[in-house]
Structure 1
Amino acid sequence: MAEMDHSNYKQTKTERGFTYSYYYSTPAPGKPVLFFSHGFPSASFLWRKQVAFFQPLGYGIIVPDHLGYGGTDKPTDPKLYVGRGLAEDMRDILDAEGVATVIAIGHDWGSYLVSRMLHYIPQRISAVTFCDVGYMPVEPGVNFISQREAFIKMIGYDAFAYQRFFIQPDAAAIIEKNIDSFISMSYPEKPELWKENMCVDGGARAWIESNTITASPSYLTPENKEAIRTSLLSGGLAGPLCWYTQQLEQANIDEDAKLPAAAREFAHPLLFIACTKDYVVLPAFGDSSHGKYAKGPVTRKEIDADHWGPMSHAAEVNEMLLEWFGTLG
């Protein structure tokens, strides 16, 4: 993407043996390093508008392509996508650049990864922002897929129904075959389409298998769409979908179960940017988690956005971040 110069991408091999690709820009003297963590199905370019805003201001920037995405390795064993391993991979990237601490900013599964960094390498984070998807604490044996009845009781519909399709053995092939339909479903012009299709049992599969394509939102330019399409098809969907299938892996439960309950709490300054038109990840989910686990100062902001606030409302997100950075010691 134009806002993220390809020459700023670097690679490093982590202790687990994975080669990671990441965008890196050194900080000006006295400026902190910002660590941007993307989710599904975006890769590092999700944050291009944040990079274009903060890099000229002198902030250091680290934006990894997470495991399964972009220029990073793409193993297909879900056990490799569990929290501790991913957090330690991030530690290895920070070590490679000699970065002691970062302000970590997460979105979607990137919020899950930042949450695990708070669990396993908390000393490497000075402050944390969760955009749309809030803090996701270790809760052994609990995952979105298994909580169907609880969510229906709480909000009146099956918010995470689509994940039951994403974990099926044929999901990657179906999505790759109908990639434009998948992108259309993931980035809808009308946010309500998520509730009508992804939050209905069998809805996501039906949408993609029928190759449904609807209008794109204004923030998804043809260039953006092509970048997403190329990124996903070049590496395939098997890796990215492991972020979902790992929820069902006993390895994840065993690893996280070793963590003391106190490690779920954190005292880092927190900014939560809620997206009020996300029908899957409701702001109340983040609010509930932060009320229970965030023991430091909490700042809460809202944007009138669907799931993709960092793209659609980039200017608002950037100003909220900049203002909040100014409150940090």
Structure 2
Amino acid sequence: MVDKIVPNDSRVQYKTANLNGHTYNYILSEPKGTKPLNTIFLIHGFPDMSFGWRYQIPHLTSLGLRVVVPDMIGYGDTDAPEDPKEYTCKKTCDDLAALASHIGVSSIILGGHDWGGAVVYRMAMYYPKLLSAVFSVCTPFMPPQKKFMHMSEMPNFKYQIQLRGPGVVKKIVGEEKIRQFLAGIYGARSKDGKPTFTVEVGCLFDRLDGVGSSPLVSDEELDFYVSKFKRNGMRGPTNWYRTGELNYEDEKEIALSGKEIKFQMPFLFISATNDVALPPSLSREMERSFRSLTKGQVEATHWALWEKPEEINQYLEEFLVGQIGARRASL
């Protein structure tokens, strides 16, 4: 059985830092009895928080790594400003660079999932000298656009139309609705066995009442998620979907420069066979943008970190041991 942290786990520390005017909360896990070989940042996506990396934190610490896992802007105990301008990939990267400085390190390994995956590629664009190795789970690299196109124009991203609109913010209010919403996204089914969230529509609000238990998170874990999400509601988490044009403007100059993006640091990309939002086919032409790209795949949905933690951890260990000399701590 794969070790994982639990809500309010005493084996890790819970820290805060003021980064560019925002207060961030983050999990810190240090290797016991040894100086860290390196520092690794883990970046979550929607709708998640630092706790989403619960299966990976103990394993990565056992490799001799200092593990830093922030609640991203809008989530958990981190600030949740109203303005979508505070949620752009560029601002997020600036905040992560400030977090590295706050911790006192000049080089980090960086990993992400979902929106966190999108962030790590942008971090490699904006702060390449800070990164010694990078990985993404589920999220492929999508280069800067020369002409703006909402991601929701793609069939597998239609749900983003709903998420950037007002519906989820207005309707998913209070503990009960937040619990139903999260349970459904985390694989629970409606009373008649149907999904409550699809990539074609988003949340199917009329199916939420009586939704069953999630097969991916325990009742205790779901309670923990709900307690954090109710703090600021759904405005912050959905603000990430309101940044399309803002991110485009930040990256337009790079796209129009005509210069080919070629990441120099080693990268690992792990796709999930049954991820309907981010199918493996999206990564078909990724290789051209990397000097060193390792690919892996697990048989899982979008929640691969939880469904196949042993396989994910094995990929990470093989990549990190090979690239930066991480080692398993002696038991």
TM-score (norm. length: structure 1): 0.86
Find the partner of 2:321 among 304, 322, 326: 326
Is the contact between residue 12 and residue 29 of structure 2 (CA under 8 Å) also seen in structure 1?
no
Matches within 5 A, 1:144-163: 144-145=151-152, 147-148=153-154, 158-163=155-160
What SS is found at the alignment partner of 1:75?
coil
Report SS of the residue matched to 2:117.
helix
- Aligned mates of 1:183, 1:70 — CA distance in 2: 14
Write out per-residue CA displacement over residues 24-55 of structure 1, whole angstroms, 9 at most, x where no aligned residue: 23464361211101000111000111112222
Aligned residues: 309
Deviation at 1:121, TM superposition (A): 0.7
Cα distance in 1, alignment partners of residues 107 and 206 from structure 2:
45
Gaps of 5+ in 2: 325-331
TM-score of the superposed pair, with normalisation by structure 2: 0.86
SS at match of 2:110: strand
AA partner of residue 125 (structure 2): H
Contact 1:10 1:23 in 2 (8 A): yes
Q: Between 17-26 and 4-13, report the one with greater CA deviation.
A: 4-13
1:168 to 161, 165, 168: 165
Structure 1: unaligned runs, 5 residues or longer = 149-157
Q: Which amino acid aligns with 2:181?
A: F
Distance in 2 (CA, whole Å) between partners of 1:282 and 1:210 is 25
User: Which residue pairs with 1:188 in the alignment?
Assistant: 187
1:19 aligns with 2:18: no
Partners of 1:184 and 1:213 within 8 A in 2: no
Q: Deviations over 1:157-216 (max 9, x none)?
A: x211211111112321212252233113311158x966x95233xx334x1244255444
Which stretch of the first structure deviates more once superposed, 226-235 or 27-36?
Answer: 27-36
SS in 2 for 1:21: strand
Match of 1:83 among 77, 83, 89: 89
- Percentage of matched positions with identical amino acids: 28
What CA distance in whole angstroms lies between the structure 1 residues aligned with 2:269 and 2:103? 27
**Does the 8 Å CA contact 2:216/2:306 hold for their aligned counterparts?**
yes
Q: Match of 2:167, as an amino acid?
A: D
Which aligned pairs between 1:165-314 and structure 2 lie closer than 5 A? Answer: 165-176=162-173, 178-188=177-187, 198-200=198-200, 203-205=201-203, 207-247=204-244, 249=245, 251-259=246-254, 260-262=257-259, 264-288=261-285, 290-294=286-290, 296-314=291-309
Deviations for 1:275-318, whole angstroms, at most 9, x for unmatched residues?
Answer: 11111110111233x22322x22211111111111112111111
Q: Distance in 1 between matches of 2:248 and 2:292?
A: 30
Which residue of 1 is the match for residue 74 of structure 2? 68
Check whether the contact 2:183–2:222 (CA below 8 A) recurs between aligned residues.
Answer: no
* Structure (1 or 2) with the greater helix fraction: 1
